[in-house]
Structure 1
């Protein structure tokens, strides 16, 4: 008797769950922009010129470009003298960067 009640309850829960899963939430409505990319960029530039952007200037620091003082040949020569790297092919090192 108890097993039949559990089976019936499980069947009702499953039926209710599948009935609720019919519609996607939130409804999938494709977004269509009313402005072009150029218009958005122009608005951002105008707001920046007027000083009305809502962000702290320190939150987005300007990074200075880094110029290397070494040539490629100098870097390869350093790698060949490094005992950890000396026994490996430089192409193998290049291929495995980040792995």
Structure 2
């Protein structure tokens, strides 16, 4: 299955290594042959350039929508309150 390029929407893509994430599981990088650009599965999304696992962000935001305080969310996820607030703003 080919991942389309976010820049040119071309389907001529090739796997081009991995990048580290905080979860320890690397992210697959791709190379678009049509536009000669590198990208990953998060490129062009609101999670672009984040190393934080998306599951952490989703859980934290769900806790916030269920009226759990920022401090309580930080205790569950073991991250700083500033991170939780930043995730909510994005």
TM-score > 0.5, shorter chain as reference: no
Instruction: Return the TM-score normalized by structure 1.
Output: 0.20
| Higher normalized strand content (fraction of residues) | 2
